[in-house]
Amino acid sequence: MSEIIRAVRPGDEAELTAMIHELAKFEHAAAECTVTENQLAAALFGPDPTLYGHLVEVDGQAAATALWFRSFSTWDGVAGVYLEDLFVRPQFRRRGLARKLLSTLARECVERGYSRLSWAVLDWNVNAIALYDSVGGTPQSEWITYRVSGPRLSELAAESRD
């Protein structure tokens, strides 16, 4: 079995988009996932990339991905990595691919002088939580994640025009 972990590159958009939609289905949120190949290509490979990623190929097949962006710690004064999506296709699970992707991202942080690797996990995803605990991840239970999106985002934005 040949296994390659590499940075995503142009031409990967179809597989990445498919995996994002597969992840959304796994997370019981398929209807909320509207990303297209064109949007992903622009985010990854446009003139001002906002997204980065790694892809795992097993015997030439796209098996897993980690999609991330740079964050910044005002307290540390340096950047970090925020892992937006980590997904391993079901037929490739239990081979250590997710752990290898996390290790790859940790190496990105260390090599670039970044101070942290952060992510969120759904509270019911016990397998992911077990993995994250095993790599030394620390739940940040004192923080509550908030999000404004859709119509509420537009309404909030309109307030700044007043």
- The confidence score (pLDDT) of residue 162 equals 65
The predicted-structure confidence for 77-108, as pLDDT tens digits, reads as follows 999 999 999 999 999 999 999 999 999 999 99
Could you give the dihedral angle defined by the CA atoms of residues 87, 57, 96 and 70, in that order, rounded to the nearest 10 degrees?
Answer: -50
For helices 37-45 and 13-26, give the axis angle rounded to 10 degrees.
110
| Cα distance between residue 22 and residue 94, in whole Å | 17
Q: State which residues form the domain around 115.
A: 3-159
Q: Residue range 109-120: average pLDDT?
A: 97
- Is the pLDDT reported for residue 153 higher than 80? yes
| pLDDT tens-digit series, residues 18-71 | 999 999 999 999 999 999 999 999 999 999 999 999 999 999 999 999 999 999
Residues 6+ apart with CB under 8 A from 36: 17
From the number of C-beta atoms within 10 Å of its C-beta (0-12, 13-18, 19+), residue 159 rates as: exposed
Nearest to 139 by CA among 158, 157, 161, 122: 122
* CATH number of the domain to which 17 belongs: 3.40.630.30
Q: How many structural domains are present in the chain?
A: 1
The band of 1, judged by pLDDT with boundaries at 50, 70 and 90, is: confident
